[in-house]
Structure 1
Amino acid sequence: MALYGTFVNGGLIIVGSLLGLLFTKIPERYKETVMHGIGLAVILIGLQMAFSTKVIIVVLLSLLLGAIVGELLRVEERLNDLGHWIGSKFTVAEDSGSISQGFVTASLIFVVGAMAIIGALDSGIRGDHEVLITKGILDGFVALVLTTTLGFGVVLSVIPVVLYQGSIALLATQIENWIPDTFLNGLIVELTAVGGILIVAIGLNMLKIVQIRIGNLLPSILTVVLVYYIYQLF
């Protein structure tokens, strides 16, 4: 079953988030310090991914093109609107802005990453769910910690995670018929690097060092495919 790993990943995020709700009443200074720790760890993870690139110009052009597309489409604004809309449907002791922040932040952390892509591809191509199950364990722990500081919105991130990874896994069942292995392997490396840069941006936002409109950089995940294809032609 191609979606088994995705469902396990989603289930562990839900479990971690629900457990995190039990610890939301801890003192604010503890939450702040924990968030700083998470932010630093997120930056480290992002840097490790970003340094995997073999062709830095592909990463740069993908980010530039993705930023232009994102600003034109106002992706960040639409993501926040979605988070507010979802938040308004739940009667909890938090405002919709807080729920939106938790939803968007957690979604980006769980979706943008090498394990999400590679794990979903493994599930679809080889029926091997080990990577996604491992990712699910990590995501569940991160969800627990994030929920203590960002609240209920974190659990809602399971929706884009399941849709994103599930779509990749289903497409992967046919991907070998469309894309040569050599191209696919190289693309995953550069896709991982672009994702790493976005994760670094998430960490910087969590530390409140700068406020980057990460949502408007998300199209880079798609533009890297076009840029890498053109690079391969030359």
Structure 2
Amino acid sequence: MKVVVIGGTGLIGTKVVSKLNEHGHEAVPAAPNTGVNTLTGEGLAEVLQGASVVVDVSNSPSFEDDAVMEFFRTSTTNLLKAEAEAGVTHHVALSIVGTDRLEESGYFRAKVAQEELIKASGISYSIVHATQFFEFMKGIADAGTEGDIVRVPAAKIQPMYSDDVATAVARTAAGTPLDGVVEVAGPEAFQFDEFIRMGLAAQNDPRTVVEDPHGRYFGSELEATSLLPGPDAHIAQTRFSDWLAQQR
């Protein structure tokens, strides 16, 4: 089965391509650096020839509100149109647990818009909602840093390893379309400050982590459980402490 992976040269995409190829599928990475641009449509018709499944794990280069909305609306519209013309029968998209609960955030509003386009396309689909990745811990800390203080939301987070995310996406791509959403999450829920504190300590980072009731996450204030999956989520195996040990 030919599977085209949009964003196939990035953190998750490269892993998805590798896992699908290991299981006997023909996984093709597609990204601007391979000659495929979903914003302009360049290369889409060519790369989708003979494809049964498209996996979209691409992300906006800018998180500014208007830019991220333009990215997801335009790229998803172009991609779905090209898929319909090519006879693709399964569209798989990676999204985020809590997307529909964070309307203050321009980024999450754009992800909601992306999902609505997919659901209305007429193409059978599966949407994978994943929790935040271990790998983005430092970036989150940097975004909340003022001087030597890291301010983080007073909320819980259930992060996961990017390799486990890719496994879930690849498994979904190889399966029957859900015409719905599946959630995947890490095995442990942490208070946000605990997660960041553990990660920074493992890197000998001396910054102080402070819980802020009004701390924002991609521009949105959080409820305590905004980022947690529901009871039917698939739970990955890799623990944060084990991942940190691997990084050393």
State the TM-score, normalizing by the size of structure 2: 0.29
The structure with the greater share of residues assigned to helix is 1
Larger relative contact order, structure 1 or 2 (CA cutoff 8 Å, min sep 6) = 1
State the TM-score, normalizing by the size of structure 1: 0.30
The structure with the greater share of residues assigned to strand is 2
